Amino acid sequence: MSESVRHAAFDTAHPVVPAVYLVLTLGMTMFCLQPVLILLSLAGAFLYGARTVGWRRCVGSLRWQLPVVLLIAGLNPLFSASGSTELFRLGGCSVYAESLCFGAAMGGLFIASVLWFQAGSRMLSFDRVMALLGNAMPTTALMVSMCMRLIPRFVRQGRTILAVQRASQPREMTAAERLRGRLRASSVLMGWTMEDSLETADAMRARGWEARVRRSTYTRFRFTARDGLSLAALLVAGTVCCLLGYAATAQFSFYPRMSQLLAWWGYAPIALWMLLPTLLLVRAERRFS
């Protein structure tokens, strides 16, 4: 048992706590088009990623992230030729500094959102999402669970069918033959899974499916008083941060001329919010070193 477990922030909390944090963070990231806020969000998401999956992988993924930012920054002036500081002209189009900055900000926002989604998938693993769903919509949760069980199975069965087909056809197939082969495989798969589902239905009924009108839901996560406190604190802090973010975004504009960015106390709480998962991880790790 030497396999080490990678812990995520909030992993001792009820799933609803990281869910609320993620929703608020993603909201702040996506709706606050303001350079400082975008940088803070980007930094928070990047540091958390580095802490959980390692610096090397995070720096490695900059290889596609930076070009995306540059691409969006470069394309934006071509579509929105607004601004006041003309840098140069490109085939009759003026390229403005403001437009370029707006593009770069959009690119940063996009990458920050992607990074937060990745962080989110580590904080809210599939079974935690299911637990959240399970409380609200037990039937939907069960259906999702059943589908998740079936998908890898279909893929495996499909591969077997194709393998059997391919083995009997030694020569290279033409495109038309390959298409026909795929169609045949899907019809075989259909018959096979229908046949299997008859037994599944029996197995479900044998174990009391539809025996009661209301099912109960087994949850592995208990909502404790501590979770309640965390949730309340998160909601209060989140509201404050959202208001600050709104204020910062409202006073800033890219066009026609970029507003002046000032040192402002309001950035501090937002920075703290964005760094929260990293700080929580660092604190948890400190206890073991």
Partner 1 sequence: MSAHVDFTRADAAASTVPCLPALEVEDLSFTYPGAEAPVLNSLSWEVPEGSFALLVGGTGSGKSTLLSLLKPEIAPTGEREGRLLVLGRPVSDYTPAQSARAIGYVFQNPDNQLVCESVWHEMAFCLENLGMEQGAMRRRVAETSYFLGMEDWFRHDVDTLSGGRKQLLALASTLAVQPRILLLDEPTAQLDPIAEKNFLHALFRVNRELGCTVVVATHQPRAMVDYATCAFRLSGGALTRVDDLEALRERAALLPRVPAAGEEGAGAGRVAVELRRAWFRYDRGDDWVLRNLDLSVRAGRIHALVGGNGCGKSTLLSLMAGVRRLDLGKLVCAERARALLPQDPHALFAEETVDAELMEWASAAGYGQREANEMLDALGLGACAALHPYDLSGGQQQLLALGKLLLTKPRLLLLDEPTKGLDLPARRAIAQLLREQGDAGVTMVVATHDLDFVSQVADDVSMVFDGEIACTAPREEFFRGNVYYRP
Query: How far is the CA of 199 from the CAs of 189, 203, 207, in angstroms?
Result: 16, 6, 12
Residues 6 or more apart whose CB falls under 8 angstroms from that of 276 comprise 9, 21, 44
Applying CB under 8 A, does 207 fall inside the site for partner 1? Answer: yes
Q: What are phi and psi of 273, to 5 degrees?
A: -60, -45
Q: How far is the CB of 136 from partner 1 (least distance, A)?
A: 15
Site string for partner 1, 137-156 (x = CB under 8 A): -x---x--xx-xx--xx---
Applying CB under 8 A, does 215 fall inside the site for partner 1? Answer: yes
Applying CB under 8 A, does 61 fall inside the site for partner 1? Answer: no
Applying CB under 8 A, does 257 fall inside the site for partner 1? Answer: no
Q: Which stretch binds partner 1 (CB under 8 A): 31-39, 53-61, 196-204, 260-268?
A: 196-204
**Residue 282 and residue 267: Cα distance in Å, rounded?**
22
Q: How far is the CB of 101 from partner 1 (least distance, A)?
A: 40
Applying CB under 8 A, does 167 fall inside the site for partner 1? Answer: yes
Output the six-digit token pair for 82. Answer: 């607004």
Q: Of 6, 57, 220, 283, which one interacts with partner 1 (CB under 8 A)?
A: 220
**Residue 60 and residue 49: Cα distance in Å, rounded?**
12
* Range list of H helices, 168-266: 175-206, 225-250
Range list of β-strands (E), 25-105: 86-90, 93-96
Residues 6 or more apart whose CB falls under 8 angstroms from that of 205 comprise none
Output the six-digit token pair for 259. Answer: 């507003």
Applying CB under 8 A, does 184 fall inside the site for partner 1? Answer: yes
Applying CB under 8 A, does 127 fall inside the site for partner 1? Answer: yes
Applying CB under 8 A, does 191 fall inside the site for partner 1? Answer: yes
Q: Of 63, 89, 214, 286, which one interacts with partner 1 (CB under 8 A)?
A: 214
Residue 90, Ramachandran bin (φ over 0: left; ψ between -120 and 50: alpha; else beta): beta
Which residues form the interface with partner 1 (CB under 8 A)? Answer: 127, 130, 138, 142, 145-146, 148-149, 152-153, 157, 160-164, 166-168, 170, 184, 187-188, 191-192, 195-197, 199-200, 202-212, 214-220
